[in-house]
């Protein structure tokens, strides 16, 4: 017994070939976009990590500066001879700390702006 000879029409083969090409292009495009997204995530991750490291380091620097200023203030305060002198030392410390805290806040703000970019 012979099997019947069945031929696939050219239009059907052309259509199938175009469909495979389109699928190949779509998958290639999807993979390229996935790779690009992955690279962007890695870049963002590195940026976040370096910014966080800088912020933590800056925080320790500021804490050390503030603690040192507080101990200097305490030392000056215990060396005062009267209430007037103690009030002067306190006023000087408050002014100095306010300026220091403003400067420190600006530094943290700059870090945050750099991270946002």
CB 73 within 8 A of CB 98: no
CB 84 within 8 A of CB 21: no
- Domain ranges for the chain, please list them: 10-116
Query: pLDDT of 63-75, one tens digit each?
Result: 999 999 999 999 9
Residue 39 has pLDDT above 80, yes or no: yes
Residue 1 has pLDDT above 70, yes or no: no
First CA to last CA across the chain, in angstroms? Answer: 76
């Amino acid at each position: 017994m012979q099997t019947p000879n069945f031929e696939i029409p050219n239009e059907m083969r052309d259509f199938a070939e175009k469909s495979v090409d389109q699928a190949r292009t779509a998958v290639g495009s999807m993979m390229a976009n996935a790779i690009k997204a992955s690279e962007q995530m890695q870049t963002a991750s590195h940026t976040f990590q370096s910014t966080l490291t800088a912020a933590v380091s800056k925080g320790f620097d500021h804490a050390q500066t503030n603690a040192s200023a507080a101990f200097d203030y305490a030392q000056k305060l215990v060396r005062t001879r009267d209430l007037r002198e103690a009030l002067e030392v306190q006023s000087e410390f408050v002014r100095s700390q306010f300026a220091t805290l403003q400067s420190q806040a600006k530094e943290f703000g700059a870090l945050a702006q750099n991270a946002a970019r």
